[in-house]
């Protein structure tokens, strides 16, 4: 084995630090899915009638899909069939009856869990400048800085609270970007989703802190189905972060989330993800199936939606954060780093749908494959006839580490008018022995050399992440930001 | 400082590029290794630095009392062996200053010295930039990416200045440089000469030796050192060309290239 391969092997086999389990009493529905389970989820959450109706419509649609086409089969991934009747769809840590708990009422074990994950929720230890909604299995356990944000008219709360306290907003926007008919997993999520985060930024308000949701799967055999809805009114701005981890287990667990973003005229939403679900072991046992639908709508003129994702976890990632560029002069961006090691599979990319005039989109995708990982970029740039003078720039780079991994690119470009321009650049490279030798000749260890080269490869994406996240992302890729100059 | 004895080495497909080379380099000396293309000059430089693509078939190399060939390349570097590459490698996205700082600090840590913080490092860098007459904008660009051939070579000298090696091997640093760049590089190298360090200049042309005066000149031909002498040997080579050596070596060894 060459020195490059050895270094990479070591890097790929790093321990998963977040693999512990919290022992906590849970209110868990029996496994399996039918209308009764959905009624029970809805009843537990004391939802208004419109929510139950919507869930049931979604369920019936999903059931017909299940009978006919089943799961989408076009992605470049393979996995054993999922038995949807074996999955637990609702599991919540037990708590006193009554509305959402205040922080004092939250089980200390939960606070401890999040603290261990580096997300302290207690007042005095909170992360400065970041408001956090902590989601544990099926429910949100705490949301910080809620009152402070409310002074500006910003609503930041769990989805369950939003359904109770702002049903009109939920009813207006839920499913408006990702309808339950969108795809198999979106239909499933719409039927059974139990919590998630809700953000509403009023007109002209610039959200003064990062909003963040941290997702934690804990219960064995359960799936996590959360939903995030962010509405940015005219001229507002928000930056939102999302992180996630799960215990190490030999069985696969399903995570099927939906994220919907709506940016009205002149509004800007920046959405960043560091995805670090348990990826399975070196032989491919266990790990999260991450089947996620994320889409934003630039509904108003000059609005902007920017997705940045660093995907390092999950056994399988199936995810295409997209932007519908409806408003004239609106802007969509997608910056992505996807790392697959061991036997991880990722089929990820984006869709940029240009509807409005003078709309612009940028796609920067960096795929890193190591071990026996399989990494696919799949992207669609669609410019409709009305979208005069639309522009897209796509750059799609793959880095291969070792000789047993794969990188694939499936770019689709459809331009339906004569004034628009779509550019696509792609490259595939490896870390060469010469690069490694050059670094070592300057005294760097092989591991540091590889880290540095990977870090350089991802730079264009990392610099779009908020500071705290950039640090975390680099650490995840085995890279330390320490000592960065200039 | 460096003692090479009967060193034979090559690559897997051609294991006999170097044939029993011997060389003594003492502190404070500058040695020039000259020779035509394909004579094994770069192989010698790469073998001394520890490139994994080369295999040593015989001989030994002692550096400051240590068995150099037993050390992995990063340890050779930390012990003060520096190679200015003939073809410096690009590392996209990695800032030149960041790269250098990481290298300096890794070397310092291994030697049990304190790491330099950002301010201390920038001070050191400013000083060395002046020494090698380089523009500050240089250090904020990705390592060698988009550099012209001359810029790459100058970047190697900057790295050498910052890392302050005990033994520097300059592999055809002069090739591809115009006369002005050559003068700047040579001036930089001369300023880095100290009684306690040594240099090996690997070169095809006598030109650079007008600016960096060597103590010893060796002519490498077909993997052997066929002649050693002082500065006058370089001048003679320049005047007569390598054909003279070729003819001489060919007479002694008809099967030669």
Q: DSSP for A292-323?
A: EEEEEEE-STT-EEEEEEEE---SEEEE--EE
Tens digits of per-residue pLDDT, A73-90? 888 888 888 889 988 888
Q: Which residues of A touch B142 (CB under 8 A)?
A: 456
Burial status of residue A445 (CB atoms within 10 A of its CB: 0-12, 13-18, 19 or more):
middle
Q: Cβ–Cβ of B110/A442 closer than 8 Å?
A: no
In the block, residue with structure tokens 């580490």:
A401
Count Cα atoms within 13 angstroms, Cβ side, for A34: 4
As a residue count, chain A comes to 486
Q: Which residues of B touch A366 (CB under 8 A)?
A: none
The minimal CB distance from A453 to the residues B88, B94, B101 is found for B94
pLDDT values of chain A reduced to their tens digit, one per residue, 486 residues: 455 555 555 555 556 777 777 777 778 888 899 999 999 999 988 999 999 999 999 999 999 998 888 888 888 888 888 889 988 888 887 765 444 456 666 777 777 777 777 766 766 566 666 677 777 776 676 777 888 889 999 999 989 999 999 999 999 999 999 999 999 999 999 999 988 899 999 999 999 888 888 877 777 777 889 899 999 999 999 999 888 776 676 778 888 999 999 999 999 999 998 888 777 777 778 888 899 999 999 999 999 999 999 888 888 889 999 999 999 999 999 999 888 888 888 899 999 999 999 999 999 999 988 888 888 999 999 999 999 999 999 999 999 887 888 899 999 999 999 999 999 999 998 888 899 999 999 999 988 888 888 888 988 888 887 776 666 666 666 532 222 222
Q: Cβ–Cβ of A452/B118 closer than 8 Å?
A: no
Q: Does A437 touch chain B (CB under 8 A)?
A: yes
How many other CB atoms are there within 10 angstroms of residue A68's CB atom? Answer: 7
Q: Which residues of B touch A453 (CB under 8 A)?
A: 91, 94
| Least Cα separation, residue B93 to chain A (angstroms) | 4
Per-position b or e across A101-138, b if 16+ CB within 10 A of its CB: eeeeebbeebbebbeebebbbeeeeebeebbbbbbbbb
Q: Cβ–Cβ of A455/B99 closer than 8 Å?
A: no
Tens digits of per-residue pLDDT, B123-146? 999 999 988 888 888 888 899 998
Instruction: Determine contact, residues A408/A76, Cβ cutoff 8 Å.
Output: yes
Q: Which residues of B touch A474 (CB under 8 A)?
A: none
B25-29, B111-115, B195-199: range with lowest mean pLDDT: B111-115
How many other CB atoms are there within 10 angstroms of residue B136's CB atom? Answer: 12
| Least Cα separation, residue A191 to chain B (angstroms) | 45
Burial status of residue B178 (CB atoms within 10 A of its CB: 0-12, 13-18, 19 or more):
exposed
The confidence score (pLDDT) of residue A138 equals 65
Token representation of residue A235: 């001229």
Q: Does A335 touch chain B (CB under 8 A)?
A: no
> Is this complex's ipTM strictly greater than 0.90?
yes
The pTM of this model reads: 0.83
Count Cα atoms within 13 angstroms, Cβ side, for A447: 11
Q: Cβ–Cβ of A453/B105 closer than 8 Å?
A: no
Q: Does A482 touch chain B (CB under 8 A)?
A: no
**How far is residue B52's CA from residue A434's CA, in Å, rounded to a whole number?**
9
Tens digits of per-residue pLDDT, B160-169? 999 999 999 9
| Least Cα separation, residue A427 to chain B (angstroms) | 13
Q: Tally A–B CB contacts below 8 A.
A: 97
Token representation of residue B120: 């201390």
**How far is residue A1's CA from residue B52's CA, in Å, rounded to a whole number?**
12
Q: Which residues of A touch B118 (CB under 8 A)?
A: 483, 485
Q: Which residues of B touch A459 (CB under 8 A)?
A: 93-94
Q: Does A439 touch chain B (CB under 8 A)?
A: yes
């Amino acid at each position: 084995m060459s020195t490059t391969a050895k270094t990479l092997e070591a890097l790929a086999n790093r321990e998963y630090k977040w693999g512990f389990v919290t022992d906590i009493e849970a209110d868990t529905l029996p496994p399996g899915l039918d209308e009764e389970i959905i009624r029970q989820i809805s009843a537990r959450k004391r939802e208004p009638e419109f929510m139950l109706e919507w869930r049931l419509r979604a369920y019936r649609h999903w059931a017909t899909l299940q009978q006919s086409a089943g799961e989408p089969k076009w992605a470049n991934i393979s996995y054993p069939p999922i038995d949807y009747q074996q999955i637990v769809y609702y599991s919540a840590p037990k708590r006193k009856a009554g509305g959402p708990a205040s922080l004092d009422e939250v089980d200390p074990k939960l606070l401890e869990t999040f603290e261990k994950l580096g997300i302290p929720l207690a007042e005095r230890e909170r992360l400065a400048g970041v408001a956090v909604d902590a989601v544990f299995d099926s429910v949100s356990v705490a949301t910080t800085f809620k009152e402070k944000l409310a002074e500006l008219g910003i609503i930041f709360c769990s989805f369950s609270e939003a359904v109770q306290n702002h049903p009109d907003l939920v009813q207006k926007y839920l499913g408006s970007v990702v309808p339950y008919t969108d795809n198999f997993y979106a239909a499933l999520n719409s039927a059974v989703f139990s919590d998630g985060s809700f953000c509403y930024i009023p007109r002209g308000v610039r959200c003064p802190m990062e909003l963040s949701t941290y997702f934690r799967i804990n219960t064995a055999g359960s799936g996590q189905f959360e939903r995030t809805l962010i509405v940015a009114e005219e001229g507002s701005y928000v930056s939102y972060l999302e992180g996630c981890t799960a215990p190490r287990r030999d069985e696969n667990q399903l995570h099927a989330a939906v994220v919907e973003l709506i940016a009205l005229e002149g509004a800007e939403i920046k959405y960043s993800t560091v995805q670090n679900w348990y990826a399975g072991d070196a032989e491919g046992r266990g790990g999260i199936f991450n089947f996620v639908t994320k889409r934003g709508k630039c509904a108003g003129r000059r609005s902007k939606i920017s997705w940045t994702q660093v995907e390092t976890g999950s056994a399988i990632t199936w995810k295409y954060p997209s932007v519908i560029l409806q408003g004239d002069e609106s802007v969509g961006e997608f910056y992505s780093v996807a790392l697959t090691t061991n036997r991880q599979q990722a089929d990820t990319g984006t869709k940029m749908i240009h509807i409005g005039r003078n709309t612009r989109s940028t796609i920067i995708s960096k795929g890193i494959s190591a071990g026996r990982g399989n990494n696919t970029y799949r992207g669609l740039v669609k410019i409709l006839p009305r979208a005069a003078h639309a522009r897209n720039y796509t750059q799609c780079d793959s880095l291969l580490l070792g000789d047993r991994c794969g990188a694939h690119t499936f770019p689709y470009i459809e331009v339906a008018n004569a004034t628009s321009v779509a550019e696509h650049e792609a490259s595939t490279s490896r870390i060469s022995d010469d690069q490694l030798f050059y670094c070592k000749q300057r005294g760097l260890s092989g591991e540091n050399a590889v880290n540095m080269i990977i870090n350089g490869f991802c730079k264009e994406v990392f610099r779009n992440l908020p500071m705290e996240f950039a640090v975390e992302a680099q650490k995840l890729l085995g890279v330390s930001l320490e000592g960065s100059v200039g | 400082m460096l003692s090479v004895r009967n060193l034979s080495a090559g690559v897997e497909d051609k294991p006999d590029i170097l044939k029993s080379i011997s060389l003594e380099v003492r502190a404070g000396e500058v040695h020039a290794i000259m020779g035509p293309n394909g004579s094994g000059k770069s192989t010698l430089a790469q073998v001394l630095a520890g490139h994994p693509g080369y295999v040593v078939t015989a001989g030994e190399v002692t550096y400051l009392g240590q068995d150099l060939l037993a050390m992995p390349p990063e340890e050779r570097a930390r012990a003060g062996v520096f190679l200015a590459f003939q073809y410096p490698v690009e590392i996209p996205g990695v800032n030149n200053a960041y790269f250098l700082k990481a290298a300096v600090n890794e070397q310092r840590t291994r030697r049990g010295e304190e790491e330099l913080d950002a301010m201390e490092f920038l001070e050191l860098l400013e000083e060395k930039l002046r020494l090698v007459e380089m523009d500050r904008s240089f250090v904020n660009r990705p390592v060698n990416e988009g550099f012209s051939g001359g810029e790459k070579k100058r970047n190697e000298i900057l790295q050498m200045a910052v890392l302050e090696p005990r033994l520097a091997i300059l592999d055809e640093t002069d090739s591809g440089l115009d006369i002005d760049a050559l003068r700047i590089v040579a001036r930089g190298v001369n300023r880095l000469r100290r009684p306690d360090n040594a240099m090996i200049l690997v070169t095809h042309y006598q030109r650079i030796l007008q600016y960096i005066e060597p103590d010893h000149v060796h002519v490498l031909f077909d993997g052997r050192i066929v002649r050693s002498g002082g500065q006058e040997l370089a001048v003679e080579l320049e005047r007569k060309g390598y054909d003279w050596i070729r003819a001489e070596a060919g007479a002694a060894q008809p099967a030669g290239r």
